[in-house]
Amino acid sequence: MAPIIGVFDSGFGGLTVLRELLQVVPGADYLYFGDTARLPYGSKSAYTVARYANSAANFLERHGAQMLVIACNTATALAFDEIRAGTRLPVIGVVEPGAGRVAAISKTRRAAVIATEATVASHAYQKALRRHGIEATEKACPLLVPLVEEGWIDHPITEQVAHIYLDEIFNDGAQGADVLMLGCTHYPLLSPLLRRVAPPAVQIVDSAECTAGRASAMIQQLGPQSKSSGSLRYFATDSVEKFRRLGSRFLGREIEKVELIDIEEQVGE
């Protein structure tokens, strides 16, 4: 029987983590929970984020999840310990795997991190990288998420905005950095554009890809994998049609069905 993996995010961005998981562990069964009724998490307090995340984790556990992947940088940054304490399941977040990858490849021991304002304010990546002996300079890039959700993945305006952000971080504090950490799960969709904009010698690390790689080892311990593709179920707390439309872009494949979840009745608010 295939292991059942619960993947949680405040919205669509975590689908980039699921996309990577499907590449490395296609035989697992996946439950994806997008808390679209309560996003963005970035404007919420750590207490509220933890409460929302724990309710989603409990929902996934009740639906048979054997492991949780917190595919949300804000939830990982603000509430990872609380999420882990609130469940009996093994839990993996998106911050530590990315930090570990940066530490493995950086020669200068300096890195630049771009993320949302909430993630940068938490300094979660800076702290995680410091534990690995890496000095990190962080930069909030609030315009990139709406540009991605607008579908302007390779638009000249998006490239201009990215240029402004990256020029600022590499010219103001991140001199000598040889790695750029993408600290938001929306940003992998911009990887080709960011590759053009970032200094040529800088390597780019995608937290979604790193998280999937770390999770795959844990998934293997849950049981044998199916030789065929496993199942996929999607849950959203609001805007099911928007989830299908935008989510397909993030996942790289069509999303045919999304189950609408009533927060008060099923998630336990």
Catalytic residue list = 72, 184
DSSP per-residue letters across 13-53: TTHHHHHHHHHH-TTSEEEEEE-TTS--GGGS-HHHHHHHH
Give the whole-angstrom CA distance, residue 144 versus residue 121.
17
Phi, psi at residue 81, to the nearest 5°? -65, -40
Determine the Cα–Cα distance for residues 262 and 236; give it in Å rounded to an integer. Answer: 9
Q: What is the DSSP letter of 167?
A: H
C-beta neighbour count of 227 within 10 angstroms: 7
- The neighbour count for residue 76, using CB atoms within 10 Å, is 30
